[in-house]
Amino acid sequence: SRQGIYGFRGSDTDSFRRFQNTPNTKSLPLSICYRCATSVVAEAKLLVPQIESSPFQIEGVVRNGHHDEITSGDWVICRNTQPLVILAFMLIAEGKKAKIKGKEIGAQLISLLRSTGVNIQAVCIRLLQNKREQLLKQYRDTYKMEKPEFHPAAIAMEENINVLEFLFDRLGGNVASVIQFLETTFSDQTVDITLSTIHKAKGLENKRVFFLRPDLIPSRF
């Protein structure tokens, strides 16, 4: 019930209770974690008290880290894309090879950028902000949403605009440079340092993982 991440597709934690109430049904807790080090499980217990560590696992380490420590083979995960873009910029400037997992994310940002049909930063951002306002108006007027800014599409649009605005500022307002950065940085290939949203990393494992901006969880929406 703690992993009902597909609420937008109808996933419902009440379904577990409905199953439990079916005659001749036995509930199995599945509370033992066989994948994570005991220190990681101890951290998870702060949120899910019933989780237990496998007696065969290593202890591992959970501690505060710093981006200067990120090195070849490490992963960095974050709930949102924008902090990963900022970090990628920093790591690349330090001469480190870093990629953001998800070629389609970069392609989506490029498509959004090109949809404006302009090459001037201020005009491009203003047009994208107008698109978002039109989207919010549609949700508000057509679908009668009280808080349309909480809709996943509106949230994604806001973050995409913030990402493009950041890249424009760092790359001198040059559209071609922004597109080149997006094409070369967002990739599905494994490189020295992999940056990924938590969504893209679900189910994957790595020896050492940095958790960027934990304050973004849970979402402010």
- State the Cα–Cα distance between residues 123 and 36, nearest whole angstrom: 48
Biggest CA pair distance of the chain = 66
The answer to whether 2 and 30 have CB atoms below 8 angstroms apart is no
What mean pLDDT comes out for the span 120-147? Answer: 94
pLDDT tens, position by position, 33-78: 999 999 999 999 998 999 999 999 999 999 999 999 999 999 999 9
pLDDT tens, position by position, 175-220: 999 999 999 999 998 889 999 999 999 889 999 999 999 999 988 7
Mean residue pLDDT of the chain comes to 92
What mean pLDDT comes out for the span 139-150? Answer: 94
Strand partners, 195: 76, 100
Q: What is the DSSP string of 109-132?
A: HHHHHHTT----HHHHHHHHHHHH
Which of the four pLDDT bands, split at 50, 70 and 90, describes residue 27? Answer: confident
* Nearest residue to 108 via CA among 165, 170, 164: 164
pTM of this structure: 0.85
